[in-house]
Structure 1
Amino acid sequence: MEIFKLKPAGKDYLWGGTRLREEYGKNIDLMPLAETWECSVHPDGLSRIQSGTHKGKALAEVLEQHPEYLGTKVSNNELPILVKFIDAKKDLSVQVHPDDEYAREHEGDNGKTEMWYVIDAEEGASLIYGFKHKVTKEILRKAVETGTLDKHLQKVEVHKGDIYYVPAGTVHGIGAGILVAEIQESSNVTYRVYDYDRVDKSGNKRELHFDKAVQVMNMDIASGVNQKPRMVKYYPGCSRELLCRCKYFEAERIQVTKGFSFSVLDSSFQVLMCLDGYGQVETIDADSKPMRFSKGETLFLPAGIGKCLVIGEATILKVRC
């Protein structure tokens, strides 16, 4: 059984920048480069394997052939998460995602609950997270029509290392100057509420989805935005910090100074995203070669691969179900 190094799909949304190419080594011929879908089996952006026996194949194809790589906790033999890097040079639209029930009935896709880890943020950068006060459909429609939606939205100043858990139904928008690692359900359903009257490359305004958005959004005052105290556990060679645990995924930040060991059990695959630094992953399998990685690279570790050892100096996000 092998560890897979992944090659992402790229997205050139109009709000994107150049940092993923210039700082994270993403050799993708898109301008701007707004997102890289690092670990994805979603048909709108398939990541591929760029190492070993399955080199060149889509991750979705390999997992279809080997559903045991997903683990016993995963139902429907389908990778339940999608992992991204996001470079917001400009503000994203004000948007909302539906929950699973609504998305499956109306879009034939999963809902989208997500988590953001702020890799970097310009001084004074902010994001939108829910409403400052309770609103109604009528209030929101008038605000969108008159360009005054901003007065109802809660804006939060963002700093490097912040985390935000964004349940389905939360109105949100990543602001300009923020670089994010996003862990989400495997979904591509987004309802735009407002897009600042911007136009695309063809000079057309992007479509809004107000009527669907108001059916799925939480119109109460947003809670749970403030950064909570987080416990860091220190070990010889590394520190580990649980960032988020929900019904869809669990994410940890690992600061490797020399090395750390962990096990990938039969219950779930794991994904490693290198945010900074470099290193290699070794397994106890004598036939398996160490997998080297560096800043910006993402690895998929099949369920049941066993005990692993990471050696190097790196900041890593470790994700599992």
Structure 2
Amino acid sequence: MPVHPLKFEPIFKPKIWGGRALERLLDKRLPPGEAIGESWEVADLESGQSVVAAGPSRGRTLSQMVAAWGADLTGRASLADGRFPLLIKFLDARQPLSIQVHPGPRTCAQRGTSRDLKHEAWYVIEAEPNAVIYRGTRPGVTREQLAAAGPTRAVVDLLNAAPTKADQCVYCPAGTLHALGGGLVVAEVQTPSDVTYRLYDWERVRPAADAGMHVAECLEVMEWNEPDPRHTARSHVGGLFTTVTRLARCDAFAIEKVRFVERMEQDIPYAELVIWIVLDGRGAVLHRGGEATPFSRGDVVVLPAALSGGRVRTETACVWLEVTIPVASDLAGYDRPSAEALRAPPATPGVVPLRVEQREVRGDRAD
């Protein structure tokens, strides 16, 4: 079977902190009467396995597609212990998430596995006034202070709380103590792990199966890197019909925001795995002699590395996040841009700084 674009059925996860905003903002058909905190869009985990929603591969799982297509799907990107290398979600944090941490590189090296490693980045779709993201500890905070504070409200005073608004992108390396504050809807890009240790949960009472704090585990796996509390620097490349904004880049993924004008058609020039997280607009990916995979707001489209001759056609003005996976040779080619080029705060530690490069962004009007 020739490779083709993939769209998956969303996996909805009820959460005590969730809400219903994914219906309003992303056209998700949520199950009635439940507070939905997460919509897993591309997942290859035991706790969530994506199923192809339409097309020739309808009904097959992402794990089956990885086995069937191999490098034709993932290209040069390495699998994560045999799994698809990324996990893509939408999150509706109506209330704040627990103060938590995921195992970092040091812990995973000690455990002899990368399965628990979870680097993540959030693109903020909507933020209520005064919304914040907690990320890392304040300068000078010690392990002893955290141990004495957890699991109580005193933990919050030891964290960096960065004011947050829509259209910001925040990178959080594995091992960093963090939480989304309440009143945020985000798209999340992460490495495929679902291992979480909680330090504080805002005095909430959870169901027994989801209860409990993990103070000792949090203190054990935390990486004391104290990330810069400011948000990640970005750069822009503009063209006649397209604007590309580079949002974040680390060794696990790179994220750009792409804007296309209406009624535009352009080749898809990649020979690598690409994921589009559609934030606004309608269009289609044309492939295999004219077959079309339509997309609209709230869709996530996986473009296999071996997809050839593909084109994107927009019906309306479109905005999507474009997610790729760098390889070592790509990362080595990026140098720190000048302050004049970016006019932004320094990049977050752990993110490879970006060099502004012109890229072909013209395209053809599909009038």
> TM-score over 0.5 for the alignment?
yes
User: For residues 100 and 297 of structure 2, what CA distance do their matches in structure 1 show?
Assistant: 30
Give the superposition deviation at 1:21: 2.6
Matched AA of 2:251:
K
Q: Confirm whether residue 272 of structure 1 aligns to residue 309 of structure 2.
A: no
Is 1:116 equivalent to 2:116 in the alignment?
A: no
Superposition pairs of residues 79-228 of structure 1, within 5 angstroms:
79-100=84-105, 102-103=107-108, 105=111, 109-145=115-151, 147-201=153-207, 206-219=211-224, 222-228=226-232
**1:16 paired residue number:** 18
TM-score where L is the length of structure 1 = 0.91
3-state SS of paired residue (1:281): strand
Query: Does residue 74 in structure 1 map to residue 70 in structure 2?
Result: no
Contact 2:127 2:185 in 1 (8 A): yes
Tell me if structure 1 keeps the 8 A contact 2:171–2:232: no
Offset, 1:111: 0.5
Of residues 150-159 and 68-77 in structure 1, the stretch that sits farther from structure 2 once superposed is 68-77
Counterpart position of 1:236: 240
SS in 1 for 2:220: helix
Contact 2:86 2:189 survives alignment (8 Å): yes
> What percent of counterpart residues are identical?
29
Match of 1:58 in 2: 61
Structure 1 13/108 Cα, relative in aligned 2: closer, same or farther at 3 Å?
A: farther
Corresponding pairs, count: 315
CA contact (8 A) 1:112 1:187 kept: yes
Q: Is the 8 A contact 1:135 1:219 kept in 2?
A: no
Query: Residues of 1 paired with 2:240 and 2:16: CA distance?
Result: 44
Q: Distance in 1 between matches of 2:232 and 2:85?
A: 27
1:289 paired residue number: 291
Which deviates further from its counterpart, 191-200 or 17-26? 17-26
Measure, in 2, the Cα distance between the counterparts of 1:115 and 1:22: 22
Output the CA distance in 2 between the equivalents of 1:139 and 1:225: 19
* In 1: Cα distance, 2:202 partner to 2:249 partner: 34
Secondary structure class of the residue paired with 1:233: strand
Cα 1:87–1:226 change in 2 (3 A) is same
Q: Which runs of 5+ in 2 are unaligned?
A: 326-367
Work out the CA distance in 2 between the residues paired with 1:34 and 1:92: 10
For 2:107, the aligned partner's letter is Y
User: What is the identity, as a one-letter code, of the residue corresponding to 1:78?
Assistant: R
8 Å contact 1:74–1:80 — kept in the other structure? yes
What amino acid does structure 2 have at the position aligned with 1:11?
A: K
Matched, 1:42 2:45: yes
The aligned residue for residue 329 of structure 2 is none
User: Which residue does the alignment assign to 2:300?
Assistant: 298
Distance 1:36 1:106, change over 3 A: farther
Contact (CA 8 Å) 1:21, 1:33: kept in 2 or not? Answer: no
Measure how far apart 1:304 and its partner are.
1.3
Structure 2 CA distance for aligned equivalents of residues 228 and 108 of structure 1: 25
Letter matched to residue 248 of structure 1 = A
Return the offset for 1:84: 0.7
Q: Is the Cα contact below 8 Å between 1:118 and 1:159 reproduced in 2?
A: yes
* TM-score, normalised by the number of residues in structure 2: 0.80
Displacement of 1:139 in angstroms is: 1.2
Per-residue deviation, 1:79: 1.1
User: Matches of 2:223 and 2:178 in 1, distance apart?
Assistant: 11
Deviations along 1:234-281, one digit per CA (max 9) or x if unpaired, are: 12221111111211111111011133443231xx31111101111111
Q: CA deviation at 1:77?
A: 4.6
Using the TM superposition, give the Cα deviation of residue 28 of structure 1 relative to its aligned residue in structure 2, in angstroms: 3.7
RMSD of the alignment, in Å?
2.1
- Consecutive unaligned residues in structure 1, runs of 5 or more: none
Q: How far 1:103 sits from its partner (Å)? A: 4.1
Q: Map Cα deviations across residues 99-133 of structure 1 (whole Å, 9 max, x no partner).
A: 24524728883300111111110111111111122
Preserved contact between residue 132 and residue 161 of structure 2 (Cα < 8 Å): yes
Distance 1:250 1:223 in 2: 18
